[in-house]
Copies of this chain bind each other. A is one copy, B any other.
């Protein structure tokens, strides 16, 4: 049984153009689906390979860390193809991770894009496979696809249900998206 006010860290990146070297990444600390408790901020390199390290530093240096029970990511890439190795991140922060996708990720297209654009595509592809099996949870009107590490499916699904309120995505990710896009563009974009 998960507490309604479980502390969740939801992470999303801001919008960027191919001319930007870095992109802002916002972490919001949420009590369940209920309210905002804190905001973290870091930057990652567009199409770089520093996302795992930057998230690990941001989380491990936070004064909120002891209260955090789970981390949510909106997909496993930040700033283009800067892939989060969630196995490595989990080993460094020791907090369970749930990766949320609104559609089943099209792994074949991702592999083709990586091969086309990156000399180190095998390394990046391995990080994507590291994220593990994609599960599906059916809600009343839509499905959410997720990957999980450090937490079993039953608990992960309970947390997704508790925190999904106003959109087809859990509140910590909806709010992280609004903040990151609002700060970069001057006005936030629709919904995550």
Chain A residues near B (Cβ < 8 Å): 24, 26, 35-42, 58, 61-64, 165-166, 171, 175, 178-179, 181-183, 185-188
Contacts and interface: CB of A to CB of B under 8 A. Distances in A.
Contacts of A183: 24, 26, 39, 41, 179, 183
Contacts of A179: 39, 179, 183
**Chain A interface mostly:** mixed
B182 A41 contact: yes
- Give me the 8 closest cross-chain CB pairs, A-B, nearest first: A39-B182, A39-B188, A38-B188, A41-B186, A41-B183, A39-B178, A39-B179, A36-B175
A39 B64 CA distance: 23
Nearest to A29: B188
Contact of A182 (B38, B166, B171, B187): B38
Given A63-B187, A183-B183, A187-B63, A166 B38 contact: no
Given A35-B166, A165-B35, A166-B35, A40 B187 contact: yes
Given A63-B187, A183-B183, A187-B63, A178 B58 contact: no
Contacts of A61: 187
Contacts of A37: 178
B62 A187 contact: yes
Contacts of A39: 178-179, 181-183, 187-188
A149 to B, nearest CB: 24
B36 A36 contact: yes
Nearest to A178: B39
A156 B86 CA distance: 48
Given A35-B165, A165-B35, A179-B179, A58 B186 contact: yes
